[in-house]
């Protein structure tokens, strides 16, 4: 997969439009998708601006909701078994995109 940050710049596309389409696949893979640290930081900033600094992840089997740093999702990927290390999502944390 080409670096989405460079690709969006080269094609004059909104970065968010490029990365939103592959965000779900990163959530589980945690693979590095950018070509450099500079691109990586741009990617994190863009996703945090869109989704917030924390992402609301739902454990499908129980319906529990967890508050997962957006950066962790991008850098490591978060699998269902990883969710226990994160705090539960409280309603006062506000609504965010659900998985």
Contacting positions for Zn ion (CB under 5 A): 3, 5-6, 35, 39
Q: Which is nearer to Zn ion, 35 or 58 (CB)?
A: 35
State in angstroms the smallest separation of the CB of 26 from Zn ion. 15
Q: How far is CA 19 from CA 30, 33, 51, 89, in A?
A: 14, 10, 12, 24
Cα separations (Å) of 87 from 46, 67, 98? 24, 6, 16
Give whichever of 25 and 85 is closer to Zn ion, judged by the CB atom.
Answer: 25
To the nearest whole angstrom, how small is the minimum distance from the Cβ of residue 4 to Zn ion?
8
């Amino acid at each position: 997969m080409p670096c989405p940050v460079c690709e969006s710049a080269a094609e004059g596309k909104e970065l968010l439009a490029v990365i939103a389409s592959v965000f779900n696949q990163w959530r589980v893979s945690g693979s590095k998708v950018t070509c450099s640290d500079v691109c990586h930081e741009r990617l994190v900033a863009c996703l945090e601006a869109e989704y917030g600094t924390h992402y609301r992840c739902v454990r499908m089997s129980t319906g529990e909701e967890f508050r997962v740093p957006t950066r962790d999702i991008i850098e490591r990927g978060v699998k269902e078994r990883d969710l226990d290390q994160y705090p539960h999502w409280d309603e006062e944390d506000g609504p965010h995109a659900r998985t």
